[in-house]
Amino acid sequence: MEVLTFKRGIHPPHGKHLTEKKAIEDLQPKEILVFPMSQHIGAPAECLVKKGDKVLVGQKIGQASGFISANIHSSVSGTVKDVKPVLTAGGTKSLSVIVENDGQYEEVEFTKPKDYHDMSKEEIATIIKEAGVVGMGGACFPTNVKLIPPPDKKIDYIIINAAECEPYLTCDHRLMLEEANKVVEGLKVVLHMHPQAKAYIGIEDNKKDAIDVMAKAVKDIPNAEVKALQTKYPQGAEKQLIYATTKREVPSGKLPADAGCIVQNVTTLHEIYQAVVLGRPSTTRIVTITGEAVKEPKNLRVRNGMSFKELIEACDGFKEDPIKVISGGPMMGMTISSLDVPVIKGSSGILCLTSKQAVLPEESSCIRCGKCVQACPMFLIPSALDSLGRRKELDGFEESNGLDCIECGSCTFVCPAKRHLLQSIRTAKRTVLANKRKK
């Protein structure tokens, strides 16, 4: 099988050996769960419950409040103890429903949808929206919106992101090995919505067992095949994945649909299966708890709303105090200051690093070596964008295509001067976009 890739990129240490052989374990929550109304890109959901209300598993407690928004469902049965802003792993506070778990897990009456083969793509998208399905790779874009692009966009390829290029994380890998049939059923739903499209499942070649399992699982689907990808970061970024599998390029400022592609994470397919075939909303996810500071790294299937602290305790805690804890992976994850934050739909991992892994050197002046340029998969000049951002020259930042940055962190990783390139570029991006919204 030919091994495909994109241009540029980097090769950070994998760190996957800690959990890649660890089967998924189910973990039940303790007494208190927290459900932020912002678990997705777009407008926060509108809270539907109040203090004192009883809730059931699968009950909608947050209503999508706009075109780009997503429903939120309770993952347990119990009593609403409060509705208030709560700190999230992203470092901001979000209005949240706090539920006291009664331990009964009494469910709403789920209605199994009719056979999706008898449904239009609009009907399927409505079910996916109602189930609150979002991109589970971390971006958390509402899936129903992505699956129905504007009518003038002809979709030729459905690209399944199974690369899991982020170091340390193995939740997608384990899902493919253990529940390939459910993933493929989700893919069949998407292909029913876009019958003229060809499906490519992109998997990095450091997961040869997953390549074999998924190739076998799709062997009877004529318009689907597995593509082996070179193990390189950020192989799983949308534009890089599209180029690697189709050699198409997404124009600057455009979306994958403009290149005739829809990209879905492999775990998102599992959620599509749950919603469209079983009629169940998105209430659980698999999280990789890993890092050299953790006593017993694991892949845990948990209920949304559980605290990070519970997951760490399920791994027997720390063998030494971590110098840094990251929500997600080391390249694109966010450092957190407290373990008292809830698992949300995009919580792919909790990475706990010791002082040996998380070196915190001070910045020095740029030495004009060009390594950041050589690494950037978007063909930008990160050192220049960094300089423009720090000087708050936002017009120049935008003219230099700073908004095209995918925030992968490759530039920071290779910088010998240890410049905080990603941080300054990210800040400038946020400011430019905020200014645009004000106009």
Binding residues for [4Fe-4S] cluster: 366, 369, 372, 376, 405, 408, 411, 415
Point out which residues pair with 318 in neighbouring strands.
294
* Two structure tokens written together for 285: 């996810």
Three-state SS for 407? coil
Give DSSP secondary structure letters for 80-117. EEEEEEEE-TTSSEEEEEEEEE-S--PBP---PPPPGG
Total residues belonging to the chain: 439
d(CA 16, CA 211): 16
Number of H helices, E strands in the chain: 12, 18
Measured distance CA(421)–CA(373) in Å, rounded: 12
Q: What's the token pair of residue 258? A: 């403009």
CA–CA dist 211, 224 (Å, integer): 13
**CA-based angle 147:149:155, to the nearest 5?**
85
Tell me how far CA of residue 307 lies from CA of 19, 60, 193, 287, 341, in angstroms: 20, 20, 36, 12, 5
Please enumerate in sequence order all residues whose Cβ is within 8 A of that of 133, keeping only pairs 6 or more positions apart, or say none: 70, 142, 143, 144, 268, 271, 272, 275, 282
How far is it, in rounded angstroms, from Cα 87 to Cα 342? 8
Q: Which residues contact 427 (CB under 8 A, 6 or more apart)?
A: 389
Query: Angle between the 121-130 and 266-276 helix axes, to the nearest 10 degrees?
Result: 100
Between CA 265 and CA 19 the distance in angstroms is 20
Binding residues: 366, 369, 372, 376, 405, 408, 411, 415
User: Is 154 exposed, middle or buried (CB count within 10 Å of its CB: 0-12, 13-18, 19+)?
Assistant: exposed
CA 331 vs CA 136, 172, 423, 431: distances in Å: 17, 17, 12, 22
Cα–Cα distances (Å) from 428 to 31, 139, 142, 291, 389, in that order, read 41, 19, 25, 31, 5
